[in-house]
Amino acid sequence: MLGVTGACLGTAAAQVMGWSEEAGKSLAFLAAVAVGLVPLATRNAGPQQVREWTRLRSLSEELKSEVHVYLAHVVPYREADASRLLLERAERALADASDLAGHTVGLTPRRRALPLVTDVGSYLRLRVADQIAGYYRPRAAYMSRRGARVRRVELALAVGAALLGAASGAFGDEWPVAWIATVTTVAAAFTAHAAASRYAYQEMDFSRTAAELEGLTVRRAQAADPATDDAFVERCERVIAAQNQGWQAKWLGE
């Protein structure tokens, strides 16, 4: 956004300079400031920072999954030593990510009550149904809106560039020529942003995960059987984990 602002201000400065030197210099100064702030604004969004954030998010989801399985009292948490096993698994996960501990220095964890999951029935309501209605479907809709918004902006910029080109050719004015390059640059920036944000991929991934969990829920309702509790919870967690691993691989692979 700062780069786009700098490009627009720089073009405006060149256009205004002939009419008002003071205004032109002011715009040029603001353009330089905007461009100069770009490295500061993006220093925490480099590849290493993204990888570390992604691993932290992965750790969080892994621990959340273990807690829900434990509260549902299914394999491997059916035995009397379930609490000890949960602690061991949590400690192992934290040890594997010990190099990320520096990111938590100075942070105070917010205390939260445990989910009110006590069996597979409450697991279905509070874990699976909540994930579908409270996360996956809303996120898919959000990504769809963001993608549509970017496409509208890209179309508007393309139309704007075409109009500027037509004005320059028809009337012989020079000022539209400079703005054509700027508008093209802004359009390219929006396209790059959309590609980096992966709106279409994320919409598809959230929708697919919700559909898979809904399918498991329907089949469970049609043939509820305590003997299949372990397998049902395991399949649900596998679907959720697959979604998490998918976006992790997508981000880390860039």
Q: How does pLDDT run across 191-209, given as a tens digit for each residue?
A: 777 776 788 889 999 999 9
Distance CA 6, CA 35 (A): 5
Residues 133 and 33 in one domain: no
Contacts of 82 by beta carbon, 8 Å cutoff, 6+ apart: 70, 73, 76
> Are residues 145 and 234 located together in one domain of the fold?
yes
Q: Are 187 and 164 in contact (CB under 8 A)?
A: no
Query: How many whole angstroms separate alpha carbon 208 and alpha carbon 239?
Result: 10
List the one residue out of 220, 247, 223, 248 whose CA is nearest residue 234: 220
Q: Does 146 or 29 have the greater pLDDT score?
A: 146
Question: Tokens in use for 214?
Answer: 């809904």
Q: Which domain holds residue 25?
A: 1-45
Claim to verify: residue 191 and residue 230 sit in the same structural domain: yes
Residues 18 and 56 in one domain: no
Kindly state whether residue 107 falls inside one of the protein's structural domains.
no
Residues 121 and 40 in one domain: no
Type of residue at 33: V
Q: What are phi and psi of 54, to 5 degrees?
A: -65, -40
Does residue 98 fall inside a structural domain? no
d(CA 56, CA 199): 22
Same domain as 127, residue 67 = yes
Name which of 30-39, 51-60, 107-116 the model is least confident about.
30-39
pLDDT of residue 75: 94
pLDDT of residue 111: 87
pLDDT tens for each residue of 106-164 = 888 888 899 999 999 999 999 999 999 999 999 999 999 999 998 898 888 888 878 87
**Do both 19 and 142 map to the same domain?**
no
175-197 and 2-16 helices, crossing angle to 10°: 180
pTM: 0.80
Residues 73 and 122 in one domain: yes
Are 69 and 12 contained in the same domain? Answer: no
Q: Is 150 inside any structural domain?
A: yes
Residues 37 and 126 in one domain: no
Q: Are residues 167 and 52 in the same domain?
A: yes
Same domain, 187 and 69: yes
